[in-house]
Amino acid sequence: MAAPTEVVNLAQKLALFGDHWAPKVIAEMNDYQFKLVKLKGEFVWHSHADTDEVFLVLSGQLVIELRAGRVALSAGELYVVPKGVEHKPVAIEECQVMLIEPRGVVNTGAAGGALQAENDVWI
């Protein structure tokens, strides 16, 4: 089978939406999804019992609060939240992030609530 020739342009994809805390899928690799999300304000404390979660900051600054401390990220930096670790992302100003996680992961974990986004939304 020939390889697909469609290139994913991150800037073009990010220009397609403006909502915060609502990840959009842009690609898949095996069972993993690459998601773009715009973050602003505070999220909810949550964890993912069965998977690690990668936050790759594309622009802006992001703080990931952990019960044991905090991780500050700037553009070009990434952090892997280990599975089962409770965390709360915080962005004072809007930042743009790529999430890398298995297909089907709910953004709020089991916490639910008003910031739980529809899952598996492609752009």
Which H or E run contains 4?
none
Q: Exposed, middle or buried, 68 (CB in 10 Å: 0-12/13-18/19+)? A: exposed
**19-102 has which CATH code?**
2.60.120.10
Per-residue pLDDT in tens (0 to 9) along the chain, 123 residues: 556 788 999 999 999 999 999 999 999 999 999 999 999 999 999 999 999 999 999 999 999 999 999 999 999 999 999 999 999 999 999 999 999 999 999 898 889 888 899 989 999
Task: Say which residues have a Cβ less than 8 Å from residue 78's Cβ, sequence separation at least 6.
Answer: 54, 55, 56, 57
Res 101: pLDDT? 95
Res 110: pLDDT? 86
Phi/psi at 65 (nearest 5 deg)? Answer: -75, 135
Domain map (residue ranges) of the chain? 19-102
| Rounded Cα gap, residues 11 and 34, in angstroms | 14
Q: For residues 57 and 97, is the Cβ–Cβ distance under 8 A?
A: yes
Which H or E run contains 10?
helix 10-14
